């Protein structure tokens, strides 16, 4: 694919400073780009590369003031990072546009409906009574169980497993190896100390524009639905237990685990390796820092929490600062105690 700088600026609603007729055919980092590439600059610490880059064009802020001449054509936009993201999306649409039709062998069960302009890779499986929307891409070895519903434009990557009765909205992405709808971890203890499996008869619902990372697992509800709300982004290797609800546009980073029946609010951020106990609620716009363990509900919106157990970020930072000085504080305390003991001792006659 080859475009002019002017065409790229048109896609981004930007303005060109320099030669709009230059041709570009790839995307690259500003520090690595060569002739024919488009790069971007959003972080000020990379600005020195702007004056040395070999890129044919660089996406920059409308407000950037140049400190010296630049060889590349500039595409000025309101937000370079967002602009480059739009360009990546544009590029991805073209690279995926060729994925159409059906590779053999593949299987579709009885009474299933599959929309036009889609793709089914070799060894993919679609069960009975499914409804698959228009332009859905199902890559090789993906499995979709009976009675699933998948919205328009969704992508199911290779080896993903979608259990029966799962509902997936439009424009979702389920990456390779993800498992959606496996049994929740429910076992009833018995008098003899053994455990009896509790049937998990619910399902999983992914609303529109949800992204599920590679090898993430989302358990079906015991009854009802495990729900991932619109626009939520789940990273690789995340475990979401039965009956959990993840709010709109919440992001959950890798290796985090959310226990059963917990409700995470809208616009929350869970950093890597966060653990959340079951049956609690996190208010909207809560941020939990990496490796924190949340053991109780967070009821006030916009809180930053840290630690295990997690508590207010500012208090946690203060506590950590004191913790590093504990040995010295202990020595000072012991010295004061010894001095006090001497002053309290009765004088010898």
Structure tokens at 84: 């480059």
- Active-site hit among 49, 141, 175, 242: 242
For residues 236 and 160, give the distance between their C-alpha atoms in angstroms, rounded to a whole number: 12
For residues 72 and 231, give the distance between their C-alpha atoms in angstroms, rounded to a whole number: 36
Rg (CA), the chain: 27
For residues 258 and 260, give the distance between their C-alpha atoms in angstroms, rounded to a whole number: 7
How far, CA to CA in Å, does 257 sit from each of 37, 180, 204, 309?
Answer: 40, 15, 17, 15
How far, CA to CA in Å, does 173 sit from each of 74, 176, 201, 268?
Answer: 33, 10, 25, 20
Q: Is 175 a residue of the active site?
A: no
Q: Could you tell me if residue 83 is left (phi over 0), alpha (psi between -120 and 50 degrees) or otherwise beta?
A: alpha
Catalytic residue set: 242
């Amino acid at each position: 694919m080859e475009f002019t700088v002017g065409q790229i600026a048109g896609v981004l609603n930007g303005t060109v400073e320099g030669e709009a007729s230059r041709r570009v055919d790839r995307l690259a980092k500003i520090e690595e780009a060569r002739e024919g590439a488009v790069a971007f600059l959003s972080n000020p610490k990379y600005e020195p590369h702007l004056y040395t880059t070999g890129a044919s064009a660089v996406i920059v802020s409308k407000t950037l003031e140049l400190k010296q001449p630049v060889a590349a054509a500039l595409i000025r936009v309101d937000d370079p990072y967002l602009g480059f993201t739009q360009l990546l999306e544009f590029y991805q649409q073209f690279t995926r546009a060729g994925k159409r039709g059906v590779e053999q062998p593949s299987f579709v069960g009885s009474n299933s409906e599959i929309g036009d302009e889609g793709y089914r890779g070799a060894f993919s499986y679609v069960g009975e009574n499914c409804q698959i929307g228009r332009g859905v891409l199902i890559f090789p070895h993906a499995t979709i169980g009976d009675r699933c519903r998948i919205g328009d434009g969704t992508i199911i990557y290779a080896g993903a497993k979608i259990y029966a009765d799962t509902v997936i909205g439009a424009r979702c992405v389920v990456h390779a190896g993800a498992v959606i709808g496996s049994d929740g971890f429910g076992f009833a203890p018995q008098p003899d100390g053994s455990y009896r499996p509790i049937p998990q008869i619910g399902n999983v619902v992914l609303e529109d524009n949800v992204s599920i990372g590679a090898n993430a697992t989302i358990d079906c509800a015991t009854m009802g639905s495990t729900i991932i709300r619109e626009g939520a982004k789940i990273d690789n290797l995340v475990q979401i237990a039965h009956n959990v609800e993840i709010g709109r546009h919440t992001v959950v980073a890798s290796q985090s685990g959310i226990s059963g029946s917990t409700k995470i609010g809208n616009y929350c951020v869970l950093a890597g390796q966060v653990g959340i106990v079951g049956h609690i609620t996190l208010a909207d716009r809560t941020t939990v820092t990496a490796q924190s363990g949340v053991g109780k509900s967070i009821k006030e919106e916009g809180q930053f929490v840290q630690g295990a157990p997690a508590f207010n970020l500012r208090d946690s930072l203060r506590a950590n600062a004191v913790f590093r000085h504990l040995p010295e504080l202990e020595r000072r305390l012991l010295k004061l105690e010894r001095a006090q003991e001497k002053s309290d001792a009765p004088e010898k006659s």
